[in-house]
Amino acid sequence: VSQFCNETTHNRFAPTKQNLLCHGRSTQSVINSNLDFQNLTMGPVSIRRTAFTYKRIEKSRFVLVIDNSKEMELMRNFYFVRSAVRRFILEDLPTGTELGLVIFDSLAINLTDGTVSLDNDDTRKHLFGEIPEEASQLDSKCLTCAINKAIETLEFGGKLAGGNSVIIVTTPLRGMDLDSIEVATSIATQKNVKLSVIAFNETFEGHSVLTSKTNGYFGIVPLNVLPPELHLTMLTRLVDELLAALHHQATHPNQEIEIPITIHEKASNTTSIIEGTFTLDRSIARDVLFAVYFYDQIKTGVRKIQITAPDGTIYSSRSDEHKPSNYFTPGIQITEPGLWSYVVERDGTSKQPHIVKVTTRQFSAHGEKLSVKIFTSVETAEGNATIEPIKLFAEVKQGRQPVLNAKVEATVTSNQHSFAVPIPLFDNGNGDPDVTENDGIYSRYLPYILGNRTEYSISVSVHGYEDQTFSVYDSSLRDQNQRSKRAISLDPAIVPMCCGSSVTIPSHLKKPISTFSRITVGPLLVASGYASEDLIPPGRISDLYVTSGIDRTIWNFTWTATGGDLDYGV
């Protein structure tokens, strides 16, 4: 590239992606509008020798900070926190991870001297036993005190806090002013510590300040309305958010392989049985946790768990080991790859729901793990759909290569209005909003963003099917028998990477993938939108094509019809 087009040399009517995505603006105009280039004075450029220093954390260290104030007793919040944290410590945190504990109300207390290495079951049980069984009776809370204690825990014994992570579980920080939040954030940024927040019920502006400025994760657990026996989803949501924060905070390059991933979930509160299936591919057939969640530890409402292995073996057993975490397991080792099925018999007189959740750890000898990354087009803490429609993206990869022809569906839940909308995502390269087909990034507009400052939780399920879903061979991972197969080349003379809006994948580079499932929770989205659905505009036309007859008295206009509400409806 020798120069960029400016407003004079740019053709804003050309049928290019630049015009489609940037609304006809030139490349130079887009670059100059960035804050990094505004008020920039160009002078002589001196070339300096650049030296890089690499630092790697050998062990990932976390501090879990738990709000212990009186407000945590609302809707049994603290009860659910203890149940979810018990699983988090005893089952979910990878072996060798170091964990410290802090509780706080108006004061903060270290429950551990420094961070403790989770090397065995006894250590994990002892660590969980340090958490009090009930919240305190104090209404106020001191977040700054809690963050100082967390950093003190990370620095215990002369260790460095930098590069490590703090996960805060709390109710909304409404009692704190933004100045106090800024002080707490400054403490963390000076020490290079990541802060993640998992909040009950609603957001507070300070939450996004804490997480965005320290590269942390922000999740929310909505409080349901009565009756209380239907609040089981709060517990499983808290389990999901803790895992999401753990994935986000992972610092060791191989740690994400050991963090549990969800591959199946199903709930019921109306039928006498829950039945379903889940698939284990060879990369995840280890440390499988099949959990049947219940609300009431005394009257669980679970009569029987029956599970059938791929070879047809039927197991009818139940383990009470994790009853304090509000779930049962079949009490068997689930390791065989293939299709598993299950039947959970419920007590017909019980009104409480039950949720089946299957998690496992992913392993690949070559690092070719399947990963799902969720992100949106919102670059700031809060989006506004009336100014710029909000796009949702899910990037699906195996190792470094895209996963193609998968079935990808997002579920967007409004925490205030208690509705959930399923949204199929596509990698079709239609240009609006999906830019390029076959790049492994599945996208869609977020529909029906209504009202002012509404909170939306996002999860994405990905299903791949043998003989349909595939990845791409990576030259660095091929064995001796695959030497004749080229990896994708950036040289368009060899393989045209992008023709219009599609990446061309030659058949000999398509890499088969066995059947798989993944469920991933994304970060919270806070957005404002339209007053009603009638005000949502239709989608943009990006493929208008005009032809004329010989005498140019007849002109034909063709285009693909868009949806009535962005890319939804007719």
DSSP character at residue 541:
P
- Residues 16-27, mean pLDDT to the nearest whole number: 80
Rounded to whole angstroms, the maximal C-alpha distance in the chain is 88
Name the amino acid, one letter, at 149.
Answer: K
Round the CA-based radius of gyration of the chain to a whole number and report it. Answer: 26
What is the Cα–Cα distance from 196 to 201, expressed in whole angstroms?
A: 16
Angle at alpha carbon of residue 484, lines to 480 and 487, rounded to 5°: 100
What is the Cα–Cα distance from 442 to 424, expressed in whole angstroms?
A: 9
Kind of pairing between the strands at 525-528 and 383-384: parallel
Share of the chain above pLDDT 70, in %: 86
- Residues 493-516, mean pLDDT to the nearest whole number: 71
Strand partners, 564: none
343 closest CA partner among 303, 374, 311:
303
Question: In the structure, how many helices (H) and strands (E) does the chain have?
Answer: 8, 29
**pLDDT exceeds 70 at position 173:** no
Kind of pairing between the strands at 165-170 and 194-200: parallel
Map residue 440 onto helix, strand or coil.
coil
DSSP string, 361-420: ----TTS--EEEEEEES--SSSEETTTS--EEEEEEEETTEE-BS-EEEEEEEETTTTEE
What is the Cα–Cα distance from 97 to 270, expressed in whole angstroms?
A: 40
Cβ-proximal residues to 224 (8 Å cutoff; 6+ apart), any chain: 75, 230, 231, 233, 234, 418
pLDDT for the residue 130: 96
For 98-150, what is each residue's pLDDT tens digit?
999 999 999 999 999 999 999 999 999 999 999 999 999 888 888 889 999 99
**pLDDT exceeds 60 at position 313:** yes
Residue 492: asked if its preceding bond is cis (omega within 30°), the reply is no
pLDDT for the residue 482: 42
Name the amino acid, one letter, at 136.
Answer: S
For 427-474, what is each residue's pLDDT tens digit?
988 877 888 899 999 999 987 777 777 888 899 999 999 889 999 987
Helix ranges (H only) for 14-88 are: 17-22, 27-33, 77-87
**pLDDT exceeds 70 at position 261:** yes
pLDDT tier for residue 308 given thresholds of 50, 70 and 90: very high
Identity of the highest mean pLDDT range in 184-188, 247-251, 394-398, 501-505: 394-398
Cβ-proximal residues to 15 (8 Å cutoff; 6+ apart), any chain: none
Asked whether 510 and 466 are in contact (CB, 8 A), the reply is no
In whole angstroms, how far apart are CA 504 and each of 241, 489, 497, 498, 507? 37, 11, 6, 7, 9
**Pick from 23-32, 173-182, 357-366, 546-555: least confident:** 173-182
User: What's this model's pTM, rounded to 2 decimal places?
Assistant: 0.82
Residue with tokens 């100059």: 32
State the number of CA atoms in the 13 A half-sphere of 298 facing the CB. Answer: 1
Asked whether 105 and 65 are in contact (CB, 8 A), the reply is no
pLDDT for the residue 264: 95
Name the amino acid, one letter, at 110.
Answer: N
State the number of CA atoms in the 13 A half-sphere of 375 facing the CB. Answer: 9
- Residues 543-549, mean pLDDT to the nearest whole number: 81
Asked whether 352 and 257 are in contact (CB, 8 A), the reply is no
Mean pLDDT of the chain: 84
pLDDT for the residue 86: 97
pLDDT for the residue 402: 94
In whole angstroms, how far apart are CA 506 and each of 12, 375, 441, 471, 488? 33, 29, 19, 12, 9
